[in-house]
Structure 1
């Protein structure tokens, strides 16, 4: 089908859809204020290249509860912690569903994904398994030694770069380490190598999958287009899922075979071993197919966000040498001169914890929480949220709001030293992992890996930015599902 024919088909579908919507009876109730939508496309053009910033500016005009029309989709944007609390806590049962992006319908992922399943018995079973078998303190303590090995590997890599006078792409090194910390915790193997450029490697497949997800999809703005997948996003996403599932199938088959052939097989302290043990006892609550979709969710959700947070933290610390010095001095005082920081050291490092909290506020890895969906028409702050509307919580806007933060456009970890604010879902000024029943199930692992990776990089090395001038480290961002640095952070490590 040539481009002109495709365009005519798309326009025909869209016009038919718009006419059909206009024939529906108007909803009762007062919608939140918002900018006037253009015909057919609505407010799509007002999103711009940086929707988190564009919507933050619009919220200053229209308020913290704002209505947009994005194509044919009703969208509500929340830009204050008070309204976020109403949505995510007070009315959590009404707003706990998800709108399903067209891409995740590939391979029926949405039917088995803990991120997109409705809150039903299947979802509850998976969440229970995550809490008890995967991310409990006991399970993570048992696998701590596996992660220490990956951190040593990161140290060795940076040390080699230091010896060779080689610059380090900190984002790429953090991504490789983050992927390996996840894979070794889940299944005791490395999924990535430093400086790997193999297009068939797991690291590259995961990255390719993420790159597909961030592309704006016409089928999401105009669901009537979903069957024809005009940009091919769903098809591409499906191909990448198949590649990752082939990797999962191989490692699961080998583990199952090893367990069946040798009753006295070596016990592994990873999640896969725990899940297989659990499946033998309660077969109805988990299948290998559901396990693969869960692993996919965890890798996609956890790897990029963790590495991005570490890269942002390193950028801000290199850019602010006095704050880097505070963090390093704390590590030296608490940890001493031993070469590796331990996960058990984290609770004794309040300044390091404050650095991470400040990054969650100032450079949130996910500028918008995963969108929710209204189950029924609901009144919030005197306005009606229409049924099936998509709810976007703009964490970037909340983190930059001077009503809640002093000097919001400055990197100041010290602000958290005297404030009892946590990021685990109860303080709505800082909810990088969400809140309520949909809070990220992998938060306990992410909490550990972000802190320990940053501590490893700054405790063992000094860092000199690529151009030699800390104040010129670029901190502009590039919008995607994960908020990346527009200019990758590269720096020379200096051995202490």
Structure 2
């Protein structure tokens, strides 16, 4: 075959392939220029540890609601428009229902044995069903209400003890984070302290193990999906170039040390009880449910690793958003006393001062719920939602989303979007008072609280109760003032996070009758 004919044949064969690739490339969402092979990896590395700020700066500079980055071979699609977000979580919910495989997520989920971090598949379906049909049910929530009620009382007593000190100062972040951890430990393990030497009713504060537990949980949350280089270049796993793997292993060492003895003892208890022909007992907590579940043949439904993974993920899902929202709401309200006063007035009108606020009061506390909605909108704990992975090519907002792309919704971009929100950087709870029953969820995805779709949080009711009772008990029980010499509370965010740069410290004075704190 003559050379010109061969060249012509090759051109004819390759031209459709090249054209299709170019066509697909043109249909990708807009994004910054990329380098061959590595894409935008060099920019991501350069902007560590503030990658999320670089991403949002690019969105602003490009004036786009959807953007595509290429981190080596992975397309990372970032969305900050509610309409497009609805396409992601509703229209494309099934296709975008998977999760990325990363060193941290694999480690924290014991090899994807749980529900939140597991990629889409039979294991995820199994554990999701356990969560929705056995753990986070209305009957289970009602059954464990007594545990939550005790923790609400301990909260008031603990703050009251601090208010009796000479400087009556309270570290709000410390109180909020430990309250959330106390709640979830009670619900999962049936105990608030890891040591049996400390009485459950103690209000002396967390012990060494409880402090280590909170620190480990938040460190884990801050390392999940944190744009680690090896997440995009798996061949680098094991080299630990960023120290990411060591952090994950250290966190798991602490959490396993504290969780495993309780889990293993409960499994032994089950084995002994059923081995003697005893009947299944009524569940005392979430761990009982997980341990005593049986398959069709009467054998334990869940393995040890599945129980460890699910208890860990329940902890992760409970501690960050409620504590962060309450700390930010109080910080904003200290600088806007008219908002604080309106919240107090609502509590006094709805609940009064002769008893403590209860979960049953939450539906009527619309202004307080609006304050929390505004904190979720303006001050999310995480700037970006947990990534969704495309299991097939799909289309979002008219753009091609290739298979295996990571699609991320920007909590920051949605909640502070000036096209959606008037004066988006101002804390204005009244903007949410447009319904008879204010909810902490946001169906229109104008901000993210509990997400939506297959990967949406199944614990909306529990999350609402924990958040609102923390907030309501703190406001109803105490008068909060700034420390001496402080004219206004700094609302500065941390460099590498959206949390307050410094923990909120306020002074507290009891505002109810003394017997209500006992």
Which bin holds the TM-score, normalised by the shorter protein? 0.7 to 0.9
Aligned to 2:381: 365
Contact 2:99 2:120 in 1 (8 A): no
Q: Which protein is bigger by CA-based radius of gyration?
A: 2
Match of 2:478 in 1: 461
Matched residues, number:
471
Q: Which residue of structure 1 lines up, in the alignment, with residue 91 of structure 2?
A: 90
The residue aligned with 2:265 is 254
CA shift digits 1:209-255 (9 cap, x unpaired): 34554765221243331242323422431343243234322112333
Q: Give distance in 2, aligned partners of 1:86 and 1:215.
A: 25
Contact 1:35 1:68 in 2 (8 A): yes
How much does 1:98 deviate? 1.1
Say which of 228, 250, 270 aligns to 2:239.
228
User: 2:110 matched to which residue of 1?
Assistant: 109
Q: Which residue of 2 aligns with 1:494?
A: 509
Q: Is the 8 A contact 2:105 2:225 kept in 1?
A: no
Greater alpha carbon shift after TM alignment, 152-161 vs 215-224: 215-224
Distance 1:415 1:245 in 2: 44
Which of 173, 177, 180 is matched with 1:178 structurally? Answer: 180
Rounded to whole Å, the distance in 2 between the matches of 1:75 and 1:47 is: 16
Match of 1:59 in 2: 59
Q: Is the 8 A contact 1:367 1:483 kept in 2?
A: yes
Work out the CA distance in 2 between the residues paired with 1:364 and 1:108. Answer: 24
Of 421, 424, 431, which residue of structure 1 is paired with 2:448?
A: 431
Q: Which moved more, 1:281-290 or 1:324-333?
A: 281-290
Q: Which runs of 5+ in 1 are unaligned?
A: 1-22
Are the counterparts in 1 of residues 347 and 476 from structure 2 also a CA contact under 8 Å?
Answer: yes
| SS of residue paired to 2:147 | helix
Q: Does the 8 Å contact 1:125/1:285 carry over to 2? A: no
**DSSP 3-state at the match of 2:106:** helix
Query: 5+ residue gaps in structure 2?
Result: 1-17, 195-203, 512-518
Q: In 2, are the aligned partners of 1:84 and 1:428 still within 8 Å (CA)?
A: yes
Deviation at 1:27, TM superposition (A): 6.4
* Matched ranges for 1:282-301 at <5 A: 283=299, 285-301=301-317
Which moved further from structure 2: 44-53 or 298-307? Answer: 44-53
Map residues 269-418 of structure 1 onto 2, 5 A cutoff: 269-279=284-294, 283=299, 285-418=301-434
1:431 CA displacement: 2.6
Residues 134-171 of structure 1 deviation map (CA, whole Å, 9 limit, x = unaligned) = 11122112111111211222211111111113311111
Q: State the Cα deviation string for residues 461-495 of structure 1 (Å, max 9, x = none).
A: 0111235546x212222266x73111211111112
Deviating more after overlay: 170-179 vs 120-129: 120-129
CA distance in 2 between counterparts of 1:364 and 1:210 reads 13
Greater Cα offset, 425-434 or 169-178: 425-434
How far off its partner does 1:389 sit? 1.6
Q: Does the C-alpha gap of structure 1 residues 44 and 491 become closer, same or farther in structure 2, counting only changes over 3 Å?
A: same
Q: Distance in 2 between matches of 1:188 and 1:107?
A: 22
CA contact (8 A) 2:109 2:118 kept: no
Q: Structure 1 residues 325-334 or 103-112, which shifts more?
A: 103-112
Alignment partner of 1:447 is 2:464: yes
Task: Give the 3 Å change call, closer, same or farther, for CA 229–140 of structure 1 in structure 2.
Answer: same
Change (3 A) 1:277 1:361: same
Tell me how far apart the structure 2 counterparts of residues 46 and 83 of structure 1 sit (CA, whole Å): 29
What are the superposed Cα offsets for residues 29-74 of structure 1, whole Å, 9 maximum, x if unpaired?
A: 1211112235643441675654444433432324111111235532
Question: What's the CA shift for 1:422?
Answer: 4.6
DSSP-derived class of the 1:68 partner: strand
* CA separation of 1:215 and 1:424: change in aligned 2, threshold 3 A: closer
**Deviation sequence 1:81-138 (CA, Å, 0-9, x none):** 1111111110111111111222223376342131232332321221122112211122
Distance 2:115 2:409 in 1: 20
Residue in structure 1 matched with residue 192 of structure 2 by the alignment? 190
Match of 2:380, SS state, is coil
Q: Alignment partner of 2:446: what SS?
A: coil
How far did 1:432 drift? 1.9
> Considering only aligned residues, what root-mean-square deviation do their CA atoms show, in Å?
2.9
Secondary structure of the corresponding residue to residue 110 of structure 2: helix
C-alpha separation between the residues in 1 aligned to 2:280 and 2:160? 36
- The C-alpha deviation readout for 1:335-377, integer Å capped at 9, x for no partner, is 1113422111111111111111111111112221101112222
- Inter-CA distance 99–425: structure 2 relative to 1 (3 Å threshold): farther
Distance 1:479 1:442 in 2: 30
1:76 Cα deviation from its structure 2 partner = 0.8
Classify the secondary structure of the residue corresponding to 1:487: coil
Q: Which moved more, 1:116-125 or 1:420-429?
A: 420-429
